[in-house]
A and B are shown apart, each in its own frame.
Chain A
Amino acid sequence: MDVLFDGLADAIGLLVSGDQDSWSIMMLTLRVSLTATAIALLVGLPLGAALALARFPGRRVVLAAANTGMGMPPVVVGLFVTVLLWRSGPLGGLGLLYTPAAMVVAQAAIATPIVVALVTAALQQVDPDFRVQMQGLGATATRAFAALLNEARLPLLAAAMAAFGAVVSEVGAAQMVGGNLAGQTRVLTTAAVLATSRGQFSLAIAFGLILLMIAFGVNLALTLLQQRRTVPR
């Protein structure tokens, strides 16, 4: 139990003291996770909408692929991205491996199927008559789509939270493509792994608690956004 209390004390100490290393780890964690989530939303939202609203051959296969992607082991994604970004790999010339950019790529690849699958499910739940009504009222396709997104905004923000939750807590891919380089690609999860393997358990728990606080902060912001203007029934 001592380790847990020490960890809590360490977490508070790291936050209050303004320890430079811990702050840069926190900021990088936020930057990488938020960027990856944003990319996943940018890519996943239109894809999910197309899957929910359009009818084309192979649609169910794509949907099944997205649903499978939700459960893709991050370490597999990490391995793919690593091999692609290796110096000897097809994208080696970019020199991205072991940089935050590589971590963003891997994390976005992990989060995108989650967004696609959840957005598809969300938009399919909207009353099918809704679109017909909108068109009947003379709305343009863009306006109708915007109204549809607004109608489905609760589950859409839930998709954003799921995507953020998946990437901020992820360790396998972050370790592989980032390399856990001090001051460059070390995030809270990989810092916690390193502290654990060094036997610094209370420090590892401190990183874990800070990670929880960050995740809570972001999700609180998204939840407030989601629940705004919601009329109690």
Chain B
Amino acid sequence: MTVLLAGCGSTPSTGGPEASPPADRSLILATTTSTQDSGLLDELLPAFTRDSGWQVKTLAVGSGQAIELGRRGEADVLLVHSPAAEEKFVAEGSAGQRRLVMHNDFVLLGPPADPARIRGAKSAEAMKRIEAARATFVSRGDESGTHAREQDLWSGAAVEPGGTWYQSTGQGMGETLRVASEKAAYTLSDRATFLTQRGSLELEVLGEGDPGLLNVYHVIELTTKAGERVRADGARAFADWIVAPAAQRLIGEFGRAKYGRPLFTPDAGADEAALGQ
């Protein structure tokens, strides 16, 4: 209690001396909510700081926003899962290397009763059945990698989602899962986020294992072409580190003890075209 009172009495003018690490060894990682909400970054980042001396400031946003921050040079390195948007961004020329890090998969979730009868169907067929049944589908609607993939699935099924059965939360995966659960609706999620929250949800995996549901993460380092204050050296250090064997081993072990299976599969150096086969 004395600590609390001491804090009440003092009002430092800014954040205080110990508030931020030395600016010269700190970099900004813009990434997806899935890597933070699953707890993966809690495992990786302290190890990276220990190995390299770089402090990492993590901004957990949707892949779309992360890429936009990279485009403006407001972040130094990206860890994202929205391949089409990533390729477009890299083609613009302000980013450095884009390298394969890991994958897991998306799963189609729904209420156990499965009113649209999608259980076991291929993803395109499942989307058609959801639309045909006018079964409630909850979309993230936030330009995240998951949202981009969901839109790919709809267009792959030649369905234009809309109307009262199609609902958009504009929020992260955790919130969207809970909305879907409360509404007994269908939704698309990355497997890691679903597994970490499964206990509080009335949702089941109804569609999985489809090539269209592969969820691939890349690391993209920024260069000073995106902005003169970009820490290109730190970005390179992080990107090199996360594709190196030590970090890849951490990724492959993450979640195994708690969920009985790893949440992500490390892929550095693998042939992307051969993933999931």
Q: B28 touches which one: A98, A194, A217 (CB < 8 A)? A: A98
| A197 touching B20, Cβ below 8 Å | no
CA distance A104 to B16 in the complex (A): 11
**Contact B20–A184 (Cβ < 8 Å):** yes
CB-based contact B33/A197 at 8 Å = yes
Question: 0/1 per residue, A188-217, Cβ < 8 Å to B?
Answer: 000000101111010000000000000001
**Interface range on chain A (Cβ under 8 Å from partner):** 20 to 34
State A197–B62 Cα separation when bound (angstroms).
Answer: 13
Interface contact tally, CB-CB below 8 A: 91
Asked if A199 and B74 sit within 8 Å, CB to CB, the answer is no
Give Cα A26–Cα B39 distance, bound, in whole angstroms. Answer: 22
CB distance from A32 to the nearest CB of B (A): 7
Check A99 against B4 for contact (C-beta < 8 Å).
no
Q: B2: CB under 8 A from chain A?
A: no
Q: How far is the CA of A231 from the CA of B171 in the complex (A)?
A: 52
Tell me whether B37 and A197 are in contact (CB under 8 A).
yes
Q: Are A100 and B19 in contact (CB under 8 A)?
A: yes
Residues of A within 8 A of B3 (CB): 23, 27
Question: Binary interface profile of B, 206-230, with partner A (CB < 8 Å = 1, else 0)?
Answer: 0000000000000000000001011
In the complex where A26-B4, A86-B74 touch, is A198 in contact with B11 (Cβ < 8 A)?
Answer: no
How far is B21's CA from A198's CA once the two chains are assembled, in angstroms? 26
Please name the residue on chain A nearest to B230 by beta carbon. Answer: A87
Q: Is the CB of B15 within 8 A of A199?
A: no
Chain B, interface residues (CB within 8 Å), range = 35 or more
CB <8 Å contact, A184 and B57: yes
The answer to whether A181 touches B58 (Cβ under 8 A) is yes
B residues in contact with A182, CB < 8 Å:
42, 58
- Lowest 9 CB-CB distances: which A-B pairs, in order? A100-B15, A197-B174, A199-B197, A87-B229, A101-B14, A100-B19, A101-B15, A30-B7, A38-B11
Q: Does B196 contact A (CB under 8 A)?
A: yes
Task: Return the CB mask of A116-141 against B: 1 if under 8 Å, else 0.
Answer: 00000000000000000000000000
Q: Is B164's beta carbon under 8 Å from chain A?
A: no
CA distance A92 to B227 in the complex (A): 11
**Could you tell me if A35 and B11 are in contact, using CB atoms closer than 8 angstroms?**
yes
B59 is an interface residue with CB less than 8 A from chain A: yes
* A27-66 interface code vs B (CB 8 A; 1 in, 0 out): 1001110110010000000000000000000000000000
Q: Does B23 contact A (CB under 8 A)?
A: yes
Question: CA of A146 to CA of B76 in the docked complex: distance in angstroms?
Answer: 52
Bound Cα distance from A38 to B13, whole angstroms: 9
Known contacts A27-B3, A99-B20, A197-B33: A218-B8 contact under CB 8 Å:
yes
By a CB distance below 8 angstroms, the chain A residues around B20 are 99-100, 184
Q: Are B15 and A99 in contact (CB under 8 A)?
A: yes
The answer to the question of A165 belonging to the interface, with a C-beta cut-off of 8 Å to chain B, is: no
